[in-house]
Amino acid sequence: ILNVEQSPQSLHVQEGDSTNFTCSFPSSNFYALHWYRWETAKSPEALFVMTLNGDEKKKGRISATLNTKEGYSYLYIKGSQPEDSATYLCASPVYGGSQGNLIFGKGTKLSVKP
């Protein structure tokens, strides 16, 4: 069974602060890591798919890094804005699973105060 862990569980920052949070996963048999952004009462929205060790991807003020050898990924938000408030989920495909199942972490809930 693959365990995907996220920390912290929640985070409160002021507008303009930069922040980051962590997703950890078993490093053996790595295939991919997905980051999603989930606003309340909306669909989770895909942010990044990370596949290669050392990958760094960026979308506006949000970026993510990947270390498959040690089994972690960081998500960074530079200059947080209130509209960044959401739950950020990471997920990894089940190794050897032909059904395409993903194992999700519990998420980091970010609140940005104006």
Partner 1 sequence: SQTIHQWPATLVQPVGSPLSLECTVEGTSNPNLYWYRQAAGRGLQLLFYSVGIGQISSEVPQNLSASRPQDRQFILSSKKLLLSDSGFYLCAYLPEDRSSYNEQFFGPGTRLTVL
Eight-class DSSP state of 2: -
Kindly tell me which residue out of 71, 93, 110, 112 binds partner 1, with binding defined by CB under 8 A: 93
Rounded to whole angstroms, how far apart are CA atoms 61 and 15?
A: 13
Helix %, strand %, coil % for the chain, to 5? 5, 50, 45
Residue labelled with tokens 């979308």: 59
Q: Which stretch binds partner 1 (CB under 8 A): 16-24, 28-36, 64-72, 74-82?
A: 28-36
Query: Interface with partner 1 includes 96 (CB under 8 A)?
Result: no
Nearer to partner 1, 15 or 45 (CB): 45
| Contact set with partner 1 (CB under 8 A) | 31-32, 34, 41-44, 46, 49, 51, 89, 93, 99-102, 104-107
